Amino acid sequence: MTLLSIQNLSLSIGITPVLHDVSFDIAAGEIVALTGESGSGKSMTALAVMQLQPEAATTTGQIKLSGADLNDLPESTLCTMRGNEFGMVFQEPATALNPLQTIGQQVAEAIQIHDIMPKATAMEQAAAMLTRVGMPQDLFPLTRYPHELSGGQRQRVVIAMAIARRPCLLIADEPTTALDVTTQARVLDLLKDLVQEFDMGLLIITHDLAVVADIADRIVVMRRGNVVEQGPTKTLLANMQHPYTRALFEASSHAVDLPPAQNDPTPILTVRNVTRDYPQPRLRMFAPRAQLRAVNNVSLEIHQGEHVGLVGESGCGKSTLTRAILGLEPVQKGTITAFGHPVGPTMPAAQRLKTQVVFQDPYSSFNPRHKVSRILAEPFYLIKAHQTGAQLERAISDVLSDVGLTSDDADKYIHEFSGGQRQRIAIARALITRPELIIFDEAVSALDVSIRAQILDLIADLSRHHTLAYLFISHDLSVVRTITDRVLVMQDGEIVEQGRTAEVFANPQHPYTQSLIEAAPVLPTIQEASHVPA
């Protein structure tokens, strides 16, 4: 039985067309994946189903849920249906949750807004729903606030809010993009179990075919607001008809042509027995303050031109170790040396030039009021380098050319660029001081697969032409496998395994490494998919 039917849906914002004759169905108990690049219209389709499109949007076509055309319903009726009949899980749970309310209050609110009941009864139902999504009260009391939870736990709270009234349709918009592989696997398993338990339809939006290859019953591929191909998952993967679908498939399993590592025996970065502790809040007045050990006795080396990966679950200590290597945080024990100089918070700015960093979200690391030229020149202002206008212009033009942009882009603002272009500008800012070591901190995790492939190729080319060494931090094992020579596996603040990337992935020795590799989504080859019955 058809639960959601979208027929010939077209949507324009002002005079700009966004969706063109989009049509697909979802049955009760069915999981449909909506996939495509950023800007393909996936999220706008979901917002149209929720009737949350921008006020300037005009819509034609039909969106029927259980036979009722949502386009014809008044807002008062839609408000009643949202949560009761259909719910939505957004990509970033930190922004979807209220930081000033406990998780119990927020799940209870999703219940009380549709049903008048005593607060105590709503909290009981909230506790039961949180337990259902894997957050029992003995471990996660209702009094917890969102900032006290990990990313995966916050996502579970958002799912609990969305299913609190047991809707017949759930829309999940990139629900696992920012999660590590083990947490991603748990969230996907949870969604699959909920579909079976509640017999609801699930529309999961993602840019990564590997994520939905096992979970989705059908796949709908979108490009530039059009549905270019759709069908049962196994059938579509085994017999892709549209060139765009094939391009997405190839980008999902893209292999980088990585230059060979250098054989310089002298390390440019040495971390020796580093320990980093954080003080915990006191449980009672005048009680001794407990210490949380985020990094425990970690040692590593990176040599010139070497490509090293660092993987591990959220909270394992990767970011803390990164801040220590950059000299942004002190360590309680151990030493960090870069290019023959000790690293620490008091090191002069000029000493940092040989080590640079590229962050996960370039947009939040740029000043939106500055043009690209000012953003790229910022390192020279910080070290008070004496550069003439002509020298700066030449350096900016050269570095933009290095990352595949043009000198004309220097006069633009950051909001004028796409996500992939912004990441290229972030890499350009790191390159402009001509460093020898770059730390990529989840630099491609928020990009769709085709843009991710371009950025990975760019990193490999820059490493080849500039003899760059880098530390590549990521939760995506498929990326680490292709972009690194050597990999370090981190768990609970310790390096539990390290070695040549190919050897570690082929024959992992530590149980934690084995669990990471087993949890990573794998896209079947065309030959494998063709031998699986639809």
* Tens of pLDDT, residues 47-83: 999 999 888 899 999 999 988 999 989 999 999 899 8
Q: Is the pLDDT of residue 316 over 90?
A: no
Percent of the residues in the chain that have a pLDDT greater than 90, as a whole number: 45
Percent of the residues in the chain that have a pLDDT greater than 70, as a whole number: 95
Report yes or no: 120 and 55 within 8 Å, Cβ to Cβ. no
One CATH from 3.40.50.300, 1.10.10.10, 3.40.50.10440, 3.40.50.720 for 2-85+168-252? 3.40.50.300
CA gap 32, 64 in Å, rounded? 16
CA–chain centroid gap for 374, Å, is 28
Q: Tokens 């934690």 belong to which residue?
A: 512
Report yes or no: 48 and 9 within 8 Å, Cβ to Cβ. yes
Q: Is the pLDDT of residue 534 over 50?
A: no
| Residue type at 303 in one-letter notation | H
Q: What is residue 474's predicted lDDT score, i.e. its pLDDT?
A: 87
Which sequence spans correspond to the domains of the chain? 2-85+168-252, 99-166, 256-347+437-443+468-534
Tell me the whole-structure pTM to 2 decimals. Answer: 0.80
Helices 151-163/119-132 angle, 10° precision: 120
User: Strand pairing of 57-65 and 486-491?
Assistant: unpaired
Asked: is 256-347+437-443+468-534 a CATH 1.10.1580.10 domain? The reply is no
- Residue in 362, 365, 396, 363 with CA at minimum distance from that of residue 380: 396
Q: What is residue 284's predicted lDDT score, i.e. its pLDDT?
A: 65
The predicted-structure confidence for 375-429, as pLDDT tens digits, reads as follows: 998 887 776 665 667 888 898 999 999 888 899 999 999 888 877 788 889 999 9
Q: What is residue 388's predicted lDDT score, i.e. its pLDDT?
A: 64
Q: Tokens 């025996």 belong to which residue?
A: 265
Which DSSP string do the residues of 433-501 spell out, in sequence order?
T--SEEEEESTTTTS-HHHHHHHHHHHHHHHHHHT-EEEEE-S-HHHHHHH-SEEEEEETTEEEEEEEH
Q: Please tell me which residue, 141 or 287, carries the higher pLDDT value.
A: 141
The predicted-structure confidence for 143-173, as pLDDT tens digits, reads as follows: 999 988 877 788 889 999 998 898 999 999 8
**C-alpha distances out from residue 373 to 155, 289, 397, 412, 455, Å:** 38, 47, 9, 8, 21
User: Strand pairing of 307-311 and 469-473?
Assistant: parallel
The predicted-structure confidence for 507-518, as pLDDT tens digits, reads as follows: 999 999 999 998
**C-alpha distances out from residue 471 to 299, 438, 443, 492, Å:** 14, 6, 11, 19
Q: What is residue 532's predicted lDDT score, i.e. its pLDDT?
A: 47
Q: What is residue 285's predicted lDDT score, i.e. its pLDDT?
A: 64
Q: Do domains 2-85+168-252 and 256-347+437-443+468-534 have the same CATH topology?
A: yes
CA gap 266, 263 in Å, rounded? 9
Range scoring the smallest mean pLDDT among 224-233, 416-425, 457-466: 416-425
Q: What is residue 385's predicted lDDT score, i.e. its pLDDT?
A: 60
Q: Is 150 exposed, middle or buried (CB count within 10 Å of its CB: 0-12, 13-18, 19+)?
A: middle
Q: What is residue 419's predicted lDDT score, i.e. its pLDDT?
A: 75
Q: Give the list of residues 6+ apart from residue 379 with CB closer than 8 angstroms, or none.
A: 353, 429, 432, 433
**What are the structure tokens assigned to 458, written together?**
């760019």
Q: Is the pLDDT of residue 287 over 70?
A: no
Q: Is the pLDDT of residue 124 over 80?
A: yes
Confidence of residue 218 (pLDDT cuts 50, 70, 90): very high
Q: Tokens 């032409």 belong to which residue?
A: 465
Q: Please tell me which residue, 22 or 283, carries the higher pLDDT value.
A: 22
CA–chain centroid gap for 504, Å, is 24
Q: What is residue 476's predicted lDDT score, i.e. its pLDDT?
A: 81
Q: Is the pLDDT of residue 315 over 80?
A: no
CA gap 442, 445 in Å, rounded? 5
User: Strand pairing of 31-35 and 57-65?
Assistant: unpaired
Q: What is residue 351's predicted lDDT score, i.e. its pLDDT?
A: 77
CA atoms within 13 A on the CB side of 464: 13
| Residue type at 36 in one-letter notation | G
Q: Which residues of 448-472 are buried (b: 16+ CB within 10 A; e: fewer)?
A: bbbbbbbbbbbbbbbbeeeebbbbb
Q: What is residue 386's predicted lDDT score, i.e. its pLDDT?
A: 59
Which DSSP string do the residues of 347-360 spell out, in sequence order?
S-GGGGTTEEEE-S
Report yes or no: 516 and 311 within 8 Å, Cβ to Cβ. yes
Helical (H) or strand (E) element with 303: strand 291-303
Confidence of residue 533 (pLDDT cuts 50, 70, 90): very low
Q: Is the pLDDT of residue 531 over 60?
A: no
Mean pLDDT of the chain: 87
